[in-house]
Structure 1
């Protein structure tokens, strides 16, 4: 099963090295950004889903 992670702590993600991860620049507890901002939340989810076909793992992209 192909997986993708949304990461809030880049340093930890670099050590864990999941197959696919999207780093987002938001505080802990807010992996999809601002509450009440569905457009931003959809953009984050689409960016994460776009990593699913990648086979050149590990992948760590920044949002």
Structure 2
């Protein structure tokens, strides 16, 4: 994804990547990215949650305006389950992939 983002950026179009995989994003080094600590495939938000999805997208678009250096990676504060401050979904996902 970082390669495509760089090519688009070279054409003069700014990009921002939504990521749910911090390790991959840091190795790919896109021009700008936001990290959402949600299960893979849910980086734009939870299903049937238009308010949360809108918030994530607006936060990502804000990075287009505020990022001043290449490789900016902004972690978003959103939680998969607000009642679970430890994000234990990650542990459950490791034991039983794709049940989240």
Q: What is the TM-score with the length of structure 1 in the denominator?
A: 0.91
Stretches of 4+ aligned residues off by more than 6 angstroms: none
Higher strand share: 1
The count of aligned residue pairs is 63
Higher helix share: 2
**Residues 1:30 and 2:42 aligned together:** yes
Q: Output the aligned Cα RMSD.
A: 0.9
Point out the structure with max Rg over C-alpha: 2
| Structure 2 gaps, min length 5 | 1-12, 77-100
User: Partner of 2:15 in structure 1?
Assistant: 3
Query: Does the residue aligned with 2:64 lie in a helix, a strand or coil?
Result: coil
How far, CA to CA, are the matches of 2:75 and 2:64 in structure 1? 15
Higher relative contact order (CA 8 A, sep 6+): 1
